[in-house]
Amino acid sequence: MSDNHDSELPEDPELREDPELHEDPELHDDPELNDDALFQREADAVYAELLGRIGEASPQPRLEATRKVVELLGDPQRAYPIIHITGTNGKTSTSRITESILRAYDLRTGLLTSPHLVRVNERIVIDGVPISNEALVTNYRDIQPYLEIVDAQLTAAGEPALSFFEAFTALAFACFADAPVDVAVIEVGLGGEWDSTNVADGQVAVFTPISLDHMARLGNTIAEIARTKAGIIKPAASVVTAIQPAEALVEIERAAELDEAPVSVQGSAFELLSNTVAVGGQVISVRGLAETYHDLFLPLFGDHQAQNAAVAIAAVETFLGGGSQPLVGDVLAEGIGSATSPGRLQVIGIEPTVIIDAAHNPDGALSAAKAIATYFTFDEVAVVVGVLHDKDARGIIDALATIATRFYVTSSTSDRAVSADELSEIVRESTGEETLWSFDLPSDAIAEAREWAESAPRRGVLITGSITLIGDALVIAGDEGWKR
């Protein structure tokens, strides 16, 4: 996803965390370990318990189950105001930029995104830092009896027990209430109307660009998908939307009208005026809802990230001042300048340069390809690619072929990954045998791509196609000692 990408649903069983279910008592005898390290195995056990539930690849189209849990918990999602963000492409980056601006205002922030790259803690961020193992464990053990009560009720009624994402959403809301936070930025997991996060009422509903993805669950047309996503709009909320296809905007505006929610549309109410390539990112100017903001440094690559920043600025203007009060220039500059979006055109290695991007649909892959061509000075690019079964592999390959000198095809550790042989056939049909190298293991594909890139100047490596593959890449880079 250059992150212009909808949240990819990760696999269940491949624990990057230590899967041991019991803490090693010897850890307590090591004075070099801090308190958080002592809770790591317990946090891993929590994650293992969550993975024992229905996985995220099979979300339950219901809200009532999550609602029962949060009601038993005293509705923690009502303890703080919420900015609720949905869309197909760019949700995570827009969420992160929004949170960064709010934090620059000295607000204590909560951020819920999905999925994670390496550790599940990454999904729940408090004040810009992934939740500690201790807080994760403590809050989970606090809510566990209530999860079990609802599990029993659902099972008695002949329904599936709480899914991974239903339970995790309740956990995140509880963590934010416990922190406590002043405001939470909540990224929808899938869709909107029946997504578990929709038990919360967002004061601001934000829509990033909508396109075709997850069609088996959300609908076969952009209008159907937009209708589902528009379910996050609540009565008297405010709506901020990126530029949308006409059929998507119709659905958003129709839902907003029913809930008497004012709508601010990018291109008319606010817009990106300019973005210029700069060292380490880009410089942007944005006409916001209340003011025009010039020459903001955004440390993210890609024109799509500049668009995401414009949407985030409008969302914060709406939240803090109803869209009529300008943001404080120095504070906004700090918030934009501190924004991060791991896994989105992230440079993880140098000599040679290795970039990871979580693009997993054609639009996201095209955005990544354009950014590589615009923001980097490579003459040749090796693309290490792996795709999951429910994705448009051919569309992804065709988009990446615009920049790929070579394809190093592989299969991530996910049990939902397309085999290297199957994906190789797609590459062969799209670009020819001479561009293709195939490897069963991501570590081998990455090693060969890096070796090729090292052998001549102005060569780079892009690892992309699925979130699980770039998660693998981060682990490999760390284990092999070349992670930046």
Establish if 396 belongs to a structural domain. yes
Q: Give the per-residue pLDDT at 16.
A: 43
More confident residue, 8 or 405: 405
More confident residue, 31 or 379: 379
Establish if 207 belongs to a structural domain. yes
* pLDDT (tens digit per residue) in 224-271: 999 999 999 999 899 999 999 999 999 999 999 999 999 999 999 999
Same domain membership, residue 447 and residue 311: no
- What percent of the chain has a predicted confidence (pLDDT) above 70? 91
Q: Give the per-residue pLDDT at 8.
A: 41
* pLDDT (tens digit per residue) in 104-146: 999 999 999 999 999 999 999 999 999 999 999 999 999 999 9
* pLDDT (tens digit per residue) in 74-101: 999 999 999 999 998 899 999 999 999 9
Establish if 370 belongs to a structural domain. yes
Q: Give the per-residue pLDDT at 134.
A: 96
* Cα separation, 184 vs 161, whole angstroms: 27
Q: Is the pLDDT of residue 28 over 60?
A: no
Same domain membership, residue 146 and residue 271: yes
Q: Is the pLDDT of residue 312 over 70?
A: yes
Same domain membership, residue 375 and residue 309: no
* pLDDT (tens digit per residue) in 420-443: 999 999 999 999 899 999 999 999
Same domain membership, residue 250 and residue 359: no
Q: Residue 383 — very low, low, confident or very high, per pLDDT cuts 50/70/90?
A: very high
**Domain count of the fold of the chain:** 2
* Cα separation, 405 vs 435, whole angstroms: 7
What HEC string does the chain produce? CCCCCCCCCCCCCCCCCCCCCCCCHHHHHCCCCCHHHHCHHHHHHHHHHHHCCCCCCCCCCCCHHHHHHHHHCCCHHHCCCEEEEECCCCHHHHHHHHHHHHHHCCCCEEEECCCCCCCHHHHEEECCEECCHHHHHHHHHHHHHHHHHHHHHHHHCCCCCCCHHHHHHHHHHHHHHHCCCCEEEEECCCCCCCCHHHHCCCCEEEECCCCCCCHHHHCCCHHHHHHHHHHHCCCCCEEEECCCCHHHHHHHHHHHHHCCCCEEEECCCEEEEEEEEECCEEEEEEECCCCEEEEEEECCCCHHHHHHHHHHHHHHHHHHHCCCCCCCHHHHHHHHHCCCCCCCCEEEECCCEEEECCCCCHHHHHHHHHHHHHHCCCCEEEEEECCECCCCHHHHHHHHCCCCCEEEECCCCCCCECCHHHHHHHHHHHHCHHHEEECCCHHHHHHHHHHHHHCCCCEEEEEECCHHHHHHHHHHHHHHCCCC
Least confidently predicted of 52-66, 330-344, 383-397: 52-66
Same domain membership, residue 389 and residue 315: no
Mean pLDDT of 331-357: 96
Same domain membership, residue 148 and residue 110: yes
Structural domain boundaries enclosing 297: 25-337
Give the chain's end-to-end CA distance (angstroms, integer). 20
Establish if 243 belongs to a structural domain. yes
* pLDDT (tens digit per residue) in 186-223: 999 988 899 999 999 999 999 999 987 655 556 679 99
Establish if 14 belongs to a structural domain. no
Establish if 11 belongs to a structural domain. no
CATH number at residue 107: 3.40.1190.10
Same domain membership, residue 279 and residue 239: yes
Tell which of 337, 355, 373 closes a domain. 337
Establish if 6 belongs to a structural domain. no
- What percent of the chain has a predicted confidence (pLDDT) above 90? 84
Tell which of 294, 311, 337 closes a domain. 337
Same domain membership, residue 60 and residue 121: yes
Least confidently predicted of 8-22, 148-162, 283-297, 383-397: 8-22
Q: Give the per-residue pLDDT at 21.
A: 34
Mean pLDDT of 2-11: 42
* Cα separation, 326 vs 313, whole angstroms: 10
Q: What are phi and psi of 58, to 5 degrees?
A: -130, 65
Same domain membership, residue 351 and residue 312: no
Q: In what order do the strands lie in the sheet with 271-278?
A: 271-278, 281-287, 292-298
Tell which of 298, 320, 337 closes a domain. 337
Same domain membership, residue 327 and residue 436: no
More confident residue, 55 or 102: 102
Tell me which residue of 340, 363, 351, 359 sits closest to 461, measured CA to CA: 351
Establish if 354 belongs to a structural domain. yes
CATH number at residue 354: 3.90.190.20
Same domain membership, residue 311 and residue 170: yes
Same domain membership, residue 350 and residue 316: no
